[in-house]
Amino acid sequence: MTARVAVITGGASGIGRATCLKFAVKGDRVVVADFNEEMGRETVDQITANGGVAIYVKTDVSKQEDVESLINKAVETYGRLDIMFNNAGIGAGGMILDQDMEGYYKTIGVNQHGVAFGIMAAGRKMKELGNKGVIINTASVFGYLASHGTFAYQATKGAVRMMTQTAALELGAYGIRVVGIAPGGVDTPIIQGYKDLGIIDKLSASQMRGELIKPEAIANAVYLLSLEEADAINGSVVMVDDGYAS
């Protein structure tokens, strides 16, 4: 069987890096996309040190031309595209009445437009290649439940939910599946930005194990969703939250 090709944005850190390592260890060829070059290359080194196959492509997901050339590079290199994981994200906080507008626009640019560009670029390429691909988007429990100080972030994650549903509806005709994940609190650098808002404690206390989720556990869920055995899961955003939203 030909090894699958997985493009993973935000692959330099946290959930993205853990997912790169997971897919590679399972025999998939991985394209690590991130604008953090040093850490992106580190992910590739970790994969190749374990006998896996990966390349790094410097990408700013908030720029459509970067995302288009990322997809082209993946297909030029490996000849196919099976999985697009739109995962890169930032977490600029701020209360609504004191909103820093630069952070607001940046959050929407990365978390919402970045996912939209990924869906469009991967969707077009998968259609052109005629293969049954899967697009997986990272939403959040904060796309479902309100929280203080995360106005822009919440808006983008709600958008990711609806983009996932709508894209599944439109791309299903080409055999392309679109799903999402909604992680709870995960132990990665992004969440440290919310420390002052008490969000880490709140998330930990509301999750069944009383602690943050390990990024590897999220990577496992992404991997399961990518499998053909999961082909009846389409248009859904799956909670991977250790019971936070329950």
Catalytic annotation, residues: 153
Choose among 82, 89, 101: nearest CA to 1: 82
**SS3 string of 21-57?**
HHHHHCCCEEEEEECCHHHHHHHHHHHHHCCCEEEEE
Shorter beta-carbon distance to ligand NAI: residue 171 or 222: 222
Q: Does 90 bind ligand NAI (CB under 6 A)?
A: yes
Select from 4-12, 47-55, 166-174, 223-231 the region that touches ligand NAI (CB under 6 A).
Answer: 4-12
Rounded-to-integer distance, Cα 14 and Cα 49, Å: 19
Rounded-to-integer distance, Cα 120 and Cα 98, Å: 34
Q: Does 244 bind ligand NAI (CB under 6 A)?
A: no
Shorter beta-carbon distance to ligand NAI: residue 188 or 236: 188
Window 101-120: contact mask with ligand NAI (x via CB under 6 A): ---------x----------
Window 188-217: contact mask with ligand NAI (x via CB under 6 A): xxxx--------------------------
Degrees, nearest 5: CA angle 184-239-172: 135
Choose among 243, 238, 240: nearest CA to 206: 243
Within 13-72, the residues that bind ligand NAI by CB under 6 A are 13-16, 34-36, 59-62
Residues that bind ligand NAI (CB under 6 A): 9-10, 12-16, 34-36, 59-62, 87-91, 110, 138, 140, 183, 185-186, 188-191
